[in-house]
């Protein structure tokens, strides 16, 4: 059996998957070079020469006050103000990014603001790094080659053409809110074509959507596998991390680990798993912190009426 070929159609999808999978913390420069507000522009010049950087965040006690760039240094040189403090030149209205943001969102920042760098803050608003286009490109190339090597070592077992069941697997990417829900919609359309009872279709579609959104919001990405035959419908959501520390707590309505920017998009209300369990005949969840989560839901189909 031959390895799966990497087609031209797959390559852009693989690249997009990396954009949704990687977080800012994965690509940022963590050894942050900073300067204080009372330092002079001459101090800044020496710092830039020593560390070979073109922009420096102004930070004191991990609090970000602004950023100074090579353009500010040139202005100080031209106007002979090199002995003045950095605070006279720094840009104080700084656009920042969060360390938990997906790379796909940060890329839109580069187009929107036309900046070459963004300071990175953590959940406590502490300056923890800086992200540049160069750091993004370097990490993407490393991850792309690593993912291609992994795919080339995979094998595929085709489903027989005369198989009586319907079997589909959907890849779901982390933080891919643009495509979230497409797998659930395709599952619903498939069941409609098979003539399944609309009430059952509605229950399955709800479970599929909630499990798909859980993969998008809370996991590092994974798969949603759908199987339907004459007796039952089964959906399995599986991911590789980060896992759930307390499953019983996660099953409580309203409990969520979604961060603030995810909530601002209207997701992460803490109803996904409880809703999936409510609309399923059988519900099972297995999770291990650091190893991932697998959720299986099952709905029993009534026997078809024999044809007259």
Output the domain CATH number for residue 95: 3.10.580.10
- Residue 234 and residue 126 in one domain: no
Q: How many domains does the chain have?
A: 2
**308 in a domain, yes or no?**
no
Residue 180: CATH number of its domain: 3.30.565.10
- Residue 229 and residue 121 in one domain: no
Check pLDDT > 60 for residue 127: yes
**306 in a domain, yes or no?**
no
Domain that holds residue 223: 166-300
Rounded mean pLDDT of 126-139? 86
Q: Which pLDDT belongs to residue 7?
A: 45
Q: Is the pTM of this model over 0.75?
A: no
137 or 212, which is more confident: 212
**147 in a domain, yes or no?**
no
- Residue 127 and residue 176 in one domain: no
Mean of per-residue pLDDT scores for the chain: 81
Check pLDDT > 50 for residue 9: no
Q: Could you tell me if 96 and 59 are in contact, meaning their C-beta atoms sit under 8 angstroms apart?
A: no
- Residue 241 and residue 134 in one domain: no
- Residue 65 and residue 179 in one domain: no
Rounded mean pLDDT of 126-143? 84
Check pLDDT > 60 for residue 5: no
Rounded mean pLDDT of 295-307? 76
- Number of CB atoms found within 10 A of residue 112's CB: 9
Q: Which residue among 139, 156, 186 closes a domain? A: 139
- Residue 296 and residue 170 in one domain: yes
Task: Write down how long the chain is.
Answer: 308
- Residue 106 and residue 223 in one domain: no
114: Cα within 13 Å, side-chain hemisphere: 0
- Residue 110 and residue 179 in one domain: no
Check pLDDT > 50 for residue 155: no
Check pLDDT > 90 for residue 45: yes
The pair of structure tokens assigned to 143 is: 């991850």
Q: How confident is the model at residue 291 (pLDDT cuts 50, 70, 90)?
A: confident
Q: How confident is the model at residue 126 (pLDDT cuts 50, 70, 90)?
A: very high
Maximum alpha-carbon separation in the chain: 97
């Amino acid at each position: 059996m031959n390895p799966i070929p990497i087609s031209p159609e797959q390559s852009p999808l693989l690249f997009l998957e990396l954009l949704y999978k990687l977080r800012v913390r994965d690509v940022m420069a963590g050894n942050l070079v900073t300067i204080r507000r009372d330092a002079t522009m001459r101090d800044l010049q020496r710092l830039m020469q020593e560390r070979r950087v073109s922009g420096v965040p102004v930070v004191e006690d991990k609090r970000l006050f602004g950023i100074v760039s090579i353009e500010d240094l040139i202005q100080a040189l031209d106007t002979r103000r090199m002995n003045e403090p950095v605070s006279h030149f720094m840009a104080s209205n700084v656009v920042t990014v969060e360390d938990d943001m997906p790379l796909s969102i940060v890329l839109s920042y580069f187009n929107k603001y036309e900046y070459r760098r963004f300071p990175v803050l953590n959940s406590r608003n502490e300056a923890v790094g800086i992200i540049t286009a160069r750091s993004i490109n370097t990490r993407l190339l490393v991850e792309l080659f690593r993912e291609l090597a992994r795919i080339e070592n995979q094998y595929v077992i085709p489903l027989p053409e005369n198989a009586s069941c319907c079997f589909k697997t959907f890849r779901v990417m982390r933080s891919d809110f643009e495509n979230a829900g497409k797998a659930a919609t395709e599952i619903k359309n498939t069941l409609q074509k098979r003539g399944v009872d609309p009430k059952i279709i509605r229950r399955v579609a709800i479970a599929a959507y909630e499990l798909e959104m859980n993969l998008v919001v809370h996991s590092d990405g994974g798969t949603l596998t759908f199987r339907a035959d004459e007796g039952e419908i089964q959906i399995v959501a599986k991911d590789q991390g980060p896992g759930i520390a307390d499953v019983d707590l996660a099953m409580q309505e309203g409990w969520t680990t979604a961060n603030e920017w995810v909530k601002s998009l209207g997701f992460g209300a803490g109803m996904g798993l409880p809703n999936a369990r409510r609309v399923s005949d059988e519900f099972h969840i297995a999770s291990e912190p650091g190893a991932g989560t697998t959720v299986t839901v099952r709905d029993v189909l009534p026997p078809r009426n024999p044809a007259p």
